[in-house]
Structure 1
Amino acid sequence: MPSDETYVSKILEVISAEPEKVVLSWRDRTLTAAELTALVRSAAQALHQQAGGSGTDAVVAVLTVTNTAPTLVLRYAANLVGATVVHLHTTNAVDPADHLAAEAELKILRETGATHLAVDAENLAAARELRERLGAPLTLVALGDLGPDVLDLTTGDPDALDPAGIEIAPDRPAVVTYTSGTTGRPKGIAFDFRARNGFISAGLQMGWRSVYLACLPLSHSSGATADDSLASGGSVVLRDGFDPGDVLRCIERHGVTRMLLSPPQLYLLMDRPEVGSTDLSSLQMVTYLGCPASPERLAEAVKVFGDVLLQVYATSEAGFVSMLSPAEHLDPRLRATVGRPMPDWVRITDPDDHRDLPPGDIGEVCVRSPFTMSEYVAEPELTARTVRDGWVHTGDLGFVDADGYLHLRGRIGEVIKTNGIKIHPVTVENALLAHPDVVQAAAFCVRDQDRIEYLHAAVVLREAGTAGPDELAEHVRTALSPKHVPALIRVRSALPLTGVGKPDKARLAAEAGG
């Protein structure tokens, strides 16, 4: 991609080859390539004109129903004229229906210096209340007539805008996504135009035009995958959330070739009774990310979906880190890894003295790549602690083996010191998931009143599963060692999940009395 071109202009150029092709589908509505292009360019021109020709100074917060076309259109329009986009609706990377509270939205508007708030009809009342409470100028904009106090961006002239004449600094923030991470406190993670432009590189090189089923919120990784799919000349089918039965029906109905899921969602999908009778022949890429996956469950997934699984290890701050290809999923040894990082992208360092560790030693995963964040918004000290000499310190523990494959061992704060040894919860979780009755597992730390640490576990069984805590404890004892056996194993109907699709271990520990 030329350095003076944005990812949005490139996407519009690609889809212009087939103007009548339906490129977006949502809630029984569609947009063709020509309609999407006209809508984006009209909105961009109106926004640029309203900002007095200085769109690159604008910060557009987007408060729309997450997985609908306006979320994409508004981001594209704002980024086309160099404005920064702030996703305001959710910090959840998995569930589009998980909304931020008004106080959190107000805080985000203030710390990002938002100049515009882009809304839809469903969120208009909330937007007006936020504007009233903000105490600073804030222009409401929308894709349609929502009232005299809201600028209708569809009134812009699509032919009056020349994106090539707008100079956009590559290090200007393009998108700010808020994530709760592991702390529960929303943090704004900014990615500049240089990184965002690079996100669609795979789509531009893709040999097939994908049909992407987007169940995860467009405000997070799913949005970048939608961009990538459109850049391949493909299309995007938007759903309001993940429902395994609905996903299977959509695959058949739309000929879906590409999906993005968390590992727990992958497990739910492959465990559906109707999966065996569903036509999955269109699928070419089922990508999963968000937390480590069970090697045993991946072996089952290969049998269900075939040679289409793609594991991506990524973090909110570091972006894409490594990948395990479909062919590598056929090797049982490699299913225990998260694939190979790109050359020179990853270092494993000692968490205490930050020295580089040799292959096989467990340490903190540090990443430097074209896709890492530029900063935490309004948090320079946290940014300085996380990004050092260009390397993002992820807080994830792992090691690189002699063949260059990366293995994850959980988070730095999750290592449990019990029974005289250090235990990595992922090791115990994978042992539990190797039991034929177990479909989900989480191992976590519980501290008593004397601050002594104990390993606990929670599992979800198959419908026909009959294994009890004693049998599962014996299974761990045999697979690992007596010292790895959790002090308590609970069987649950479901595991609570965090906003990034990982088992919510803090909640599990709190419920256990930790």
Structure 2
Amino acid sequence: MRNVGRNYVREILRELSANPGRVALWWQGKPVTAGEFVYSVTSAAQILDRRRSEVGAGKDGRTVVGLLTVTNTPATLVLRYAANLIGAMVVHLQTANAVDPLDRISTAARRGILAATGTTLLATDEEHLPLARELCAGMADAPHLVALGALGDDVLDLTDILDLNADGGGGPGDTPDVEIAADDPATVTYTSGTTGVPKGVTVSFGVRQAAVTGLPKDARTVYLSTLPLSHTSGAVADMALVSGGTVVLHEGFDPAGALASVEAHRVSRMTVSPPQLYMLLDVAATGAFDLSSLRTLTYSGCPASPARLAEAVKVFGDVLTQTYGTTEVGPISELGPADHHDPSLLATAGRPTAAEVRIRDPYDHRDLPSGEVGEVCVRSPYAMLGYWGAPELNARTIRDGWLHTGDLGCLDERGYLHLQGRLADVIKTKGIKVHPAAVENALLAHPDVVQAAVFGVADEDQVEHVHAAVVLRAGAATEADELRDQVSRELSANHAPVEIRYCDEIPLGHTGKPDKAALRADAWGRR
């Protein structure tokens, strides 16, 4: 192997080992010390390393470990770290989100992922053991099952140190110093994206390493994770642990429960989607919780209501940070706490941070000047290697080192990014192209609208029409015509939705964004 890159897991374990008595994780009200966590990771890694020779390597001679576990548990972190510590590639098969815990990749799609990645070992837990066995039973070259515990004769116990020592192995601290290259794949996270077809975002060891290198040590960091560790929240957990901090794991999102944890554990950092931010705001406004420890409250995933953000600043103080980014390329732009005091910036996605951003015409690919809407293209040190096993998609998505996000937006003269929705979501109606995000922002500018989702619905003649789903402020009874007038004043009469549906809440997909496919299907059904 090529020893040209450091392993981010060793950086994390080194920091944890420096103070083994401190609390590294909180899970279901119980602490996990740094020493206990290091022991779990290193013992599991040693057993994996000694046993993988028995099952052989997968495609390209690579050891591939699939993860099928409840996402926000210590097991998910232990298994990823243990596999990456020995240089194995980890494939996340569980993409459930706390916003919608019932959303899952289908069994058939999971089986296809195992085959496509050449998964050799499938790490599971008790909750997912029946599914893991079902997946393996339907495969000609099935992976071997492993788990952190004794789950059956067909499952290798990664905690069985006595069995390891009987084989002549050393103690759990004797993990091999495996040589890796910076561009070796570390993780593959499957996401349905906007197409519904699972795509494997492949992230290198180099990117994982970059995320934990050069961070200021801050033992006060206490990160509350309610979003899945298989996605961005996992990288934030890495950063918290390597900085000497603590991670509080919640399996799902409950606003009162989250705020109670902020008070009980003195949480300093958390990340939510905008709809979750609104729920937190409604509960926090009662003043029932001590939130003085909170230093950073990040929201991301979809546009947020400027009016509700102004409220949030009053309730939470100078802690709000909006991050715009993608699984494929990492963070792109940021709207910081100070920016939230400027009302004109609350509808923007902030300014580019670690990424270089260009706005390009989606058809002739030329760079566009400030103010013109085009596709957001990004070049970043945190970009993915590519989509696993999808060369044609990679060729369309990554061109000359620039990743084409599929998002529409423009940069203003101050360098702030204004997003206008997805390229695929543009509604062509009445001879114009309507960007849903522009209509959503116009609706959100009305004081009675707290959430909005705009989408196109084609009629029997395949003519698209603008539809909207809105959530009104409690007690409000604003008529649809008033909202149409609002859009007409902000944009034009052609942008005004022909149908406005009032909802108690807008359905969310597995990423925490409004589920416009479900809203579109509902509109069809009602018609």
Report if the CA contact (8 A) 1:397-1:409 is conserved.
yes
**CA offset digits 1:255-286 (Å, max 9, x no partner):** 11111101111112112376433211110001
Partner of residue 112, structure 1: 117
User: Is residue 2:174 matched to residue 1:161?
Assistant: yes
**For 1:19 and 1:314, how far apart are their aligned partners in 2?**
34
Question: Residues 100 and 453 from structure 1, CA distance in 2 versus in 1: closer, same or farther, beyond 3 angstroms?
Answer: closer
Q: Which residues of 2 match residues 245-324 of structure 1 at below 5 A?
A: 245-272=256-283, 275-324=286-335
The equivalent position to 1:184 in structure 2, one of 168, 193, 196, is: 196
**For 2:484 and 2:287, how far apart are their aligned partners in 1?**
32
Q: Tell me how far 1:116 sits from its aligned partner.
A: 0.2
**For 2:261 and 2:396, how far apart are their aligned partners in 1?**
44
**For 2:478 and 2:243, how far apart are their aligned partners in 1?**
47
**For 1:303 and 1:6, how far apart are their aligned partners in 2?**
42
User: Is residue 2:42 matched to residue 1:37?
Assistant: no
Partner of residue 67, structure 1: 72
Q: TM-score normalized by structure 1?
A: 0.95
Secondary structure of 2:128's partner?
helix
Report if the CA contact (8 A) 1:178-1:186 is conserved.
yes
**For 1:288 and 1:228, how far apart are their aligned partners in 2?**
17
Partner of residue 22, structure 1: 23
Report if the CA contact (8 A) 1:209-1:234 is conserved.
yes
Deviates more, 1:462-471 or 1:439-448: 462-471
Q: Which amino acid aligns with 1:28?
A: G
**For 2:172 and 2:123, how far apart are their aligned partners in 1?**
22
Unpaired segments ≥5 residues, structure 2? 162-169
**For 1:505 and 1:224, how far apart are their aligned partners in 2?**
28
Report if the CA contact (8 A) 1:345-1:369 is conserved.
yes
Q: TM-score normalized by structure 2?
A: 0.92
**CA offset digits 1:81-129 (Å, max 9, x no partner):** 1100011122648545533332222111111100000111122222122
Q: Tell me how far 1:398 sits from its aligned partner.
A: 0.7
The equivalent position to 2:468 in structure 1, one of 437, 449, 457, is: 457
User: Is residue 2:141 matched to residue 1:136?
Assistant: yes
Q: Which amino acid aligns with 1:109?
A: L
Report if the CA contact (8 A) 2:5-2:206 is conserved.
no
Q: Tell me how far 1:311 sits from its aligned partner.
A: 0.9
Q: Tell me how far 1:370 sits from its aligned partner.
A: 1.1
Report if the CA contact (8 A) 1:89-1:105 is conserved.
no
Report if the CA contact (8 A) 1:214-1:222 is conserved.
yes
Secondary structure of 1:100's partner?
coil
Q: Tell me how far 1:52 sits from its aligned partner.
A: 3.0
User: Is residue 2:62 matched to residue 1:57?
Assistant: yes
Deviates more, 1:372-381 or 1:48-57: 48-57
Report if the CA contact (8 A) 1:38-1:158 is conserved.
no
CA RMSD of aligned residues (A): 2.1
Secondary structure of 1:446's partner?
strand
**CA offset digits 1:332-373 (Å, max 9, x no partner):** 222222111137611111100111111211110111111111
Partner of residue 48, structure 1: 49
Report if the CA contact (8 A) 1:468-1:491 is conserved.
no
**For 2:355 and 2:10, how far apart are their aligned partners in 1?**
31
**For 1:401 and 1:344, how far apart are their aligned partners in 2?**
17
**CA offset digits 1:215-255 (Å, max 9, x no partner):** 11111111111111112211111111111121121111111
Partner of residue 172, structure 1: 184
Report if the CA contact (8 A) 1:215-1:241 is conserved.
yes
**For 2:123 and 2:462, how far apart are their aligned partners in 1?**
48
Q: Which amino acid aligns with 2:133?
A: R
**For 2:87 and 2:441, how far apart are their aligned partners in 1?**
45
Report if the CA contact (8 A) 1:95-1:242 is conserved.
no
Question: Residues 3 and 234 from structure 1, CA distance in 2 versus in 1: closer, same or farther, beyond 3 angstroms?
Answer: farther
Partner of residue 196, structure 1: 208
Secondary structure of 2:346's partner?
helix
**For 2:480 and 2:348, how far apart are their aligned partners in 1?**
28
Secondary structure of 1:422's partner?
strand
Q: Tell me how far 1:445 sits from its aligned partner.
A: 0.9
Q: Tell me how far 1:67 sits from its aligned partner.
A: 1.0
**For 2:102 and 2:224, how far apart are their aligned partners in 1?**
17
Q: Which amino acid aligns with 2:206?
A: R
Report if the CA contact (8 A) 2:191-2:200 is conserved.
yes
Percent identity (aligned): 56
**For 1:176 and 1:406, how far apart are their aligned partners in 2?**
29
**For 2:470 and 2:173, how far apart are their aligned partners in 1?**
59
**For 1:417 and 1:103, how far apart are their aligned partners in 2?**
35
Partner of residue 152, structure 1: 157
**For 1:274 and 1:111, how far apart are their aligned partners in 2?**
48
Q: Which amino acid aligns with 1:459?
A: V
Partner of residue 519, structure 2: 508
**CA offset digits 1:126-184 (Å, max 9, x no partner):** 21222222111422111112222221112345555344x31112111101101010111
Question: Residues 120 and 193 from structure 1, CA distance in 2 versus in 1: closer, same or farther, beyond 3 angstroms?
Answer: same
Aligned length: 511
**For 1:251 and 1:155, how far apart are their aligned partners in 2?**
36
Question: Residues 95 and 196 from structure 1, CA distance in 2 versus in 1: closer, same or farther, beyond 3 angstroms?
Answer: farther
Report if the CA contact (8 A) 2:100-2:508 is conserved.
no
Secondary structure of 1:501's partner?
coil
User: Is residue 2:461 matched to residue 1:438?
Assistant: no
Partner of residue 89, structure 1: 94
Deviates more, 1:468-477 or 1:282-291: 468-477
Q: Which amino acid aligns with 1:322?
A: S
Secondary structure of 2:111's partner?
helix
Q: Which amino acid aligns with 2:181?
A: A
Q: Tell me how far 1:501 sits from its aligned partner.
A: 1.3
Q: Which amino acid aligns with 1:161?
A: D
Q: Tell me how far 1:320 sits from its aligned partner.
A: 1.3
**For 2:386 and 2:181, how far apart are their aligned partners in 1?**
16
